[in-house]
Amino acid sequence: MKNYIQKHPWKVIEQGFHKDENKITESLCSIGNGKMGMRGNFEESYSGESLQGSYYAGIYYPDKTKVGWWKNGYPEYFAKVLNGCNWSGLKIMIGDCELDLNKAEIKSFTRELDMMNGLLSRNCIITLPNGAEVEITSQRFCSMHQDEIAALEYSFTVNNFKGKIFIDSYLDFDIENEDSNYDEKFWNESKVLNEEEIIYNQAVTKKTGFELGLAAKSVCKKDSAEIQASNIVIATKYISTQYELEIQSGTNFQINKFIGVSSSFYHQHGELKANAIKLAKEASSTGYDLLKSNHEHCWQDKWNISDIEIDGDVGAQQGIRFNIFHLNQTYTGQDARLNIGPKGFTGEKYGGSTYWDTEAYCLPFYLSTANQKVAKNLLIYRHNHLNKAIENASKLGFKDGAALYPMVTINGEECHNEWEITFEEIHRNGAIAYAIFDYIRYTGDDKYLAEHGLDVLIAIARFWAQRVNYSEAKKKYVILGVTGPNEYENNVNNNWYTNYIAVWCLKYCIDALKHVKADDANRFKEILSNNQFDEKETENWNEIIKHIHLPKSEELGIYLQQDNFLDKDQSPVSELRGEDLPLNQKWSWDRILRSVYIKQADVLQGLYFFEEDFSHAEIKRNFEYYEPRTVHESSLSPCVHVILACLIGMEDKAYEMYLRTSRLDLDDYNNDTEDGLHITSMAGTWMSIVKGFGGMRIKENKLYFNPSLPKNWEKLSFRINFRDSLVNIKITSTEISLKNESNNNLQISIVDQSINLNPNEIKVYNL
């Protein structure tokens, strides 16, 4: 755990350069706008530890699978989001010394991410080995207003030096993914040119043929007077505008770089160059300040709906804003072809692909803080991949339209390649069905079933019906050889969570069939025929529902994570030595698999999803059994624990888990923030507050709150977007106030009271 980031309600501040943590700070200071993003790297060259990373939505490379031993059914490739053109780069030579913080004496340094306005800035004063003192200020952003534009302003004053300096303002495509399986570069050069003082660099991905073109217009001023470029430098996959000057001590330079980005994911191949150049030109004539204020306004609009205020705990406040900020810049929901990679635009791990994280953790955030269309696009994404999911299942031997959605995907094809996950972590199918339920419960848009939802539910139900088998010994249906959400056990039989969600999917699909049949008979017929579905299929489903095996210990009063869970040594985590943790970095894999230690919520994940099926006493017993055996080595774990702990009145545990989820990256809890941020778990942090401390649920088509604030919080405030209405909620330890900020009447429940809120009305209730 680290503690060097300063606590501030709106900012992430690194005061003094923490060289050893540079990759962590680069991850923390990432910026983006849903279409592109980049890590918080320095603009000038840096020879120390760094992951230079710029990522562009939708562009990936199918890197040939690398495994120790090939198994039939493995995907051919692991899709990777590509590290692409570095547009922020500046190479600066002062005399014979390159400006490089790794080789300079640093006199003062501040790197700052302004989350309110989406700006990354830096101020520092350094001395180079040749004695020149350089004072740098920089700022940049990826525009939220025009998402194919980015801009930077870099200013430096050179003291104690007289002589020649060079500034190279470049676009570099000679980039390699850090996680490339065969140390291969994924980009081929396609066009590098210079047109009317604008440099343009376009490259094409190997195999997939995606083209990406960036144009840059640099404007350089010396002591406030604009100067002309002296040269255009062209090298392999590289182009720069170069300025070469003789200077006196005390000279100041300011460089603005205006970037236009154009990719074949959004534009016709032949149009990229013209589009990118036009954007860069327009951006430079708009000017940095206006571009920036347009960008800031967009952020204000986002914060107006999605901000959460916590009074009395600056660490918790910074934590939640940090999470909301990164969620908003990762996914804006305008394009159903995009999704939310676990690292967003902040790193390469997990390939930038889609996991069950989206449905299980991210959907509620976008449902409550954005237009309904945003969450719907996440569902449509999976509907668009349905045929691929059916193909995936058929590769594994399933038939008749059964679908197994991939564990990891970028285009619908499975690309995870560890057998215990690819073939066995099948519970992901359940989360995809659950998201349809969750979306409809929240929005009331039950037409979605007839539109797209039912197709997906039928295919998923068919998968479960084929994946179970009847055990003569148990006289029950069983699901053998699976990995549950807890990846620290593989190939187990009857993972409770998987079995529970499997039959839930069957039941939900039966309900959905009935609903669409009653609501829209013609469309129903069409769906049956498109899916070659005979309603008789549900007879078998009903048998499975009735006779599913759900492992349980009557003695302990808990659901068993899997049939043999109690055979394990049950010592809790508190009996481990500090040096054993994190297990995934300290223990051999076989030792982990045999142990009782749980990576992330598993039985508890099911109790969270299906809370209404269980009594609080049951939830408490399971929580008290499993939490002490959970190491939370998945970032997705603590948030579920917060929500359940609040429900069963374990306030201290809830708060402990909240800090762990909300400051996971800021404090580098799991020692892995340098790889990128845990974007999908950030949505879990949001849920911890709204569903945990706010106790928000949807009950009978209404918003419901049952709050319980941590002791040290004076006030918690947030807004919820619910069915075209915006509600402003303020909670203290003694009261909850609700303001209807919309033009509709709203029915809301608070604990056991039902209230009506007229437009603009405020009501306050004692807790």
Report the C-alpha dihedral over residues 332, 729, 616, 545, rounded to 10 degrees. -40
Query: Could you say which of 44, 147, 455, 487 contacts ligand BGC (CB under 6 A)?
Result: 487
Cβ contact 187:173 at 8 Å? yes
Q: How many CB atoms lie within 10 A of CB 166?
A: 17
Question: Hey, which residues between 36 and 75 contact ligand BGC (CB under 6 A)?
Answer: none
Q: Closest separation between CB of residue 361 and ligand BGC, Å?
A: 9
Q: Between 460 and 636, whose beta carbon lies closer to ligand BGC?
A: 636
Shortest reach from residue 699's CB to ligand BGC, in Å: 28
Stretch that binds ligand BGC, among 29-37, 74-82, 354-362, 489-497 (CB under 6 A): 354-362
CA 370 vs. chain centroid, Å, equals: 16
Q: What is the DSSP string of 647-715?
A: HTT-HHHHHHHHHHHHTTTTTTTTS-GGG---HHHHHHHHHIIIIIIS--EEETTEEEE-----TT-SE
- Does 359 contact ligand BGC by CB under 6 A? no
Which helix (H) or strand (E) segment is 608 a member of?
helix 603-609
Catalytic pick among 133, 153, 413, 487 = 487
CB closer to ligand BGC out of 356 and 597: 356
Q: How far is the CB of 349 from ligand BGC (least distance, A)?
A: 9
Binding piece for ligand BGC, criterion CB under 6 A, among 196-204, 246-254, 351-359, 745-753: 351-359
Ramachandran region of residue 213, left (φ > 0), alpha (ψ -120 to 50) or beta?
A: beta
Q: Which stretch binds ligand BGC (CB under 6 A): 350-358, 616-624, 648-656, 744-752?
A: 350-358
Question: C-beta of 350: minimal distance to ligand BGC in Å?
Answer: 6
Helix (H) or strand (E) run with residue 319 in it: helix 314-330
What is the rounded distance in angstroms from the CA atom of residue 122 to the CA atom of residue 134? 13
Choices 348-356, 432-440, 509-517, 711-719 (CB under 6 A): range interacting with ligand BGC: 348-356
The span from the CA of 625 to the CA of 149, in Å, is 52
Query: What's the token pair of residue 12?
Result: 């992430």
Report yes or no: 44 and 90 within 8 Å, Cβ to Cβ.
yes
Site for ligand BGC in 617-646 (CB under 6 A): 634, 636
CA atoms within 13 A on the CB side of 347: 23
741: annotated active-site residue: no
**Which of 107-115, 231-239, 352-360, 705-713 is the region at the interface with ligand BGC (rule: CB under 6 A)?**
352-360
Smallest gap from residue 684 Cβ to ligand BGC (A)? 10
Q: How far is the CB of 354 from ligand BGC (least distance, A)?
A: 10
Tokens, residue 748: 């809301």
Closer by beta carbon to ligand BGC, 286 or else 409: 409
Least gap, CB of 634 to ligand BGC (angstroms): 4
Of 355, 423, 626, 669, the one binding ligand BGC by CB under 6 A: 355
DSSP, residue by residue, 10-65: SEEEEES--GGGHHHHHHHT-EE-SSEEE----SB---SS----EEEEEEEEEEEP
The residue within the footprint of ligand BGC, chosen from 211, 357, 451, 665 (CB under 6 A), is 357
* Binding letters toward ligand BGC, positions 584-613, x by CB under 6 A: ---------------xx-------------
What residues contact residue 199 under an 8 Å CB cut-off, 6+ apart?
170, 171, 193, 215, 216, 218, 232, 239, 240, 241
Q: Which residue shows structure tokens 């949001």?
A: 686
Number of residues that bind ligand BGC (CB under 6 A): 12
Ranges within 672-691 binding ligand BGC (CB under 6 A): 680
Q: Does 350 bind ligand BGC (CB under 6 A)?
A: yes
Q: Does 434 bind ligand BGC (CB under 6 A)?
A: no
Cα–Cα distance for residue pair 458/750, rounded to 1 Å: 36
Q: Cβ–Cβ contacts within 10 Å for residue 550, how many?
A: 14
Nearer to ligand BGC, 356 or 722 (CB): 356
Binding site for ligand BGC (CB under 6 A): 342, 350, 355-357, 485, 487, 599-600, 634, 636, 680
Residues involved in catalysis? 487
